Structures are given as structure tokens and as C-alpha cells.
Amino acid sequence: MAREIETKCIHLEEKEDSIHHYGAMTYPIYQTATYAHPGVGQSTGYDYSRLQNPTKEHLEKTVASLENGIDALAFSSGMAAITLMMELFKPGDHLIVDADLYGGSIRLFNHVSEKNGIEFSSVDCYKENVAGYIRENTKAVYIETPTNPMMNVTDIKALAEITKEHNLLLIVDNTFLSLYFQNPLDLGADIVVHSGTKYLGGHNDTLAGFLVTNREDISERFRFLIKTTGAGLAPFDCFLIQRGIKTLGVRMDRAQENAIEIAKWLKKQDIVGKVIYPGFEEHPGYEIMKKQARGFGAMLTFELTKKEYAFEILENVKMIKYAESLGGVETLITYPATQTHADVPEEIRVKNGITDCVLRMSVGIENIKDLLNELEQVFAKVRGE
């Protein structure tokens, strides 16, 4: 009988063999670089930790199971995962990428991938006709949904129909919702990207990245590339991410509950011009989210009526931290213009809606009364009350 996702976060069915680890409830950290061979031509199944490590393998099988893929690979960061993924392509290949992406992805594409001869078209995939941008040399479509930070929602299944018709790869960065709320492979994607630093780890204490696929040919290629380039996640960090995943369900549920309440509160504030949260019925992607996801997540973006208000909020929060990143138990507030999207040209940022008045919030699991109390105090100070 298939287990529910909350249980799968804690129990990897095929690995319920704690008797082989002296009954340990926590999968051990195999802090070793190499492994002794029983004899010539024989192996324990592990030879060198750049190739594979038991702790890393356990984590990868957990993530693959939760994302309904056949294989998952753990990397030293989300950007390491995306960088390796780009090795699937060669000079002259063309990719269609979402116009509103994490700034690090845009930086990689613009300053590394283009230098390596790969061509890109930036498209608002949530509203434009993606098929109209396909060329003879187009190889893949790369999206986030919801996007970072403007929370645009793309219909994954509809886009997958287009990519399959044209024999293209569909790559989905699933970091914002996590595999707890959304499974793009089930909707037709070929590759899923995660920054494991975020919700999967959940405690802002380590970096990680993942690539997940349901295709044997892509899995084989990724395994060759990770062995060759050496960006695999170290055993201790694998342990931390595995530990984080165990509480993923309760963290995501609580953070989402808090995000909904904060989003509602922000809508009532006179110094806030816009609140973007896909859980609002008026959000253009609301119905798509209901169809393709199990929740709306804990990320929200809001725009102040003046840039000065944004600055004052950032300078006056205390329990809520002014910091980059997202997905931890702590609530963080980010200024995309100078943090996550600092390397994106200003004209592109503004075109995407990332003005100097925009703040992004990753809502944590604190008591909602404390979060709202701090926001009320900070906003009162901003208003000069």
C-alpha cells in the first residue's frame, strides 16, 4: 500500500533495514573518502565518495521517491546542480527560459552558458505562446513556477504537451513549493531542480542542490557528469538535508498557514501597493495552482508605495531577519533589487516587476501572533506613528 507523502518524508520503504546499522533510527554518516575492496575485481558497491557514498545514496533515494522520479542526484548547492544540468547542451543549442528567474540562474545563463555557445530566449512562459519561440536548434524549456520573486504560475502540464510535441526537455525548478506541494515529473516535466538549501534542508544551516529525473537516459548522463565534475554533496551535508526532510511536511503546512495570514494582513496596509501570493483567488495562477499543486507555499512578494518604506522595513525588523535565501524555519525578508537579483540588468528587473519598492518574504514557522506583532510595530514606525 502506497504511503502518504508525510510518511515518505520520514520512512524510505526500501531502506527500512535499521538492523544492518545496529538499530540506528538515523541513517549513519559515512564520513569516508574511499573504500577497501574485498579482492581484485570485487567491490562493496562503493569505491570512492566522489562516485557514491552510502549516506548520499540514501538521501538521493529519498528525494527521488518523494519527487516520483527514478533517480535524484545531490549536489553541493542549487547552482552546482543547474551548472551540471547545462552540460546536457552543446554550443549552438537554444533554450527557452522563463523571464522571471532566480538571479543566480540568470547570471549563470548570461555569463557562463552564453560564453559556452548556448543561446537563450527569455519568455514570460506563464502568459506567452512558448511554441512561437521554438527554433530548429531549441533543446529545452526551463521554468520556475511560481517564479522568483514575482510568483508567476505556469501550467506545467500544458507546457509539457508543447515540449513533448517538439521533442524538447522540460526543466522545472521546484524550489519554491518543494516536492511536498508539487511534483512536476507527474505533470510531464523531464527534469526537476531543487535548491536543497531551502525547504528540504529547512534550517538555514547547509547548502545543497538536486536534479531529479524520470528518464533513464538523462539519469545515466547525469551520473557520468557528476562523477566527472565532482560537485556531489558531502556526507555530513547529506545527513543534514535528510534530517530536514523528516520535518518537511509539518514545516510546510505551518509556514503556509502563516504566509496566508501575513498576506491578508499586508493587503490591509495603506503603505502596501500590491501583495502577490498565489493563494489569493485574484492571482492569475490561482486555478492552475489548485490543479497542479497540493498547496500555495510560504513565499510572498509585496510592493510598497515608496522605496523609502521598503528600506525602513528592512532596517527595523528584528525577529524577522533581513537576509537572502528562503525556506528555513525562520522568517526572512529579502530585497531582490540588491540581493537575489542584483546582477540582473535594471531594465530587465523593472520589466519583470522587480522595482526598488519590492520585498520578498519567506515565511517561517514562528507563532503567527509574534510575526504579526512585529510587522505591526515595524509598519507603525515606518508610518511615523
Distances in whole angstroms, Cα of residue 176 to Cα of each of 67, 142, 173, 351, 356: 14, 15, 8, 22, 22
Query: What values do phi and psi take at 372, rounded to 5?
Result: -65, -35
Secondary-structure percent of the chain, ordered helix, strand, coil, rounded to 5? 40, 15, 45
Q: Which of 27, 102, 180, 335 is catalytic?
A: 102
Q: Which of 15, 50, 61, 223 is catalytic?
A: 50
Query: What values do phi and psi take at 231, rounded to 5?
Result: -100, 20
> Is 240 in contact with 205 (CB distance < 8 Å)?
yes
Rounded Cα–Cα distance for residues 190 and 210 (Å): 14
> Is 63 in contact with 9 (CB distance < 8 Å)?
no
Active site (annotated) includes residue 243: no
Q: Which triple of cell numbers denotes residue 147? A: 517564479
Q: Which of 100, 173, 190, 356 is catalytic?
A: 173
Q: Which triple of cell numbers denotes residue 373? A: 506583532
Q: Which of 56, 198, 251, 360 is catalytic?
A: 198
> Is 226 in contact with 210 (CB distance < 8 Å)?
no
Nearest to 279, CA basis, from 156, 176, 130, 170: 176
| Lookup result for grid cell 554550443 | 91
What counts of helices (H) and strands (E) characterise the chain? Answer: 13, 12
> Is 237 in contact with 201 (CB distance < 8 Å)?
no
Active site (annotated) includes residue 351: no
Rounded Cα–Cα distance for residues 253 and 365 (Å): 9
Rounded Cα–Cα distance for residues 255 and 371 (Å): 11
Active site (annotated) includes residue 102: yes
> Is 215 in contact with 71 (CB distance < 8 Å)?
no
- Rg of the Cα trace of the chain? 21
Helix (H, G, I), strand (E, B) or coil at 378: helix
Distances in whole angstroms, Cα of residue 225 to Cα of each of 61, 95, 121: 18, 20, 25
Active site (annotated) includes residue 173: yes
Active site residues: 50, 102, 173, 198
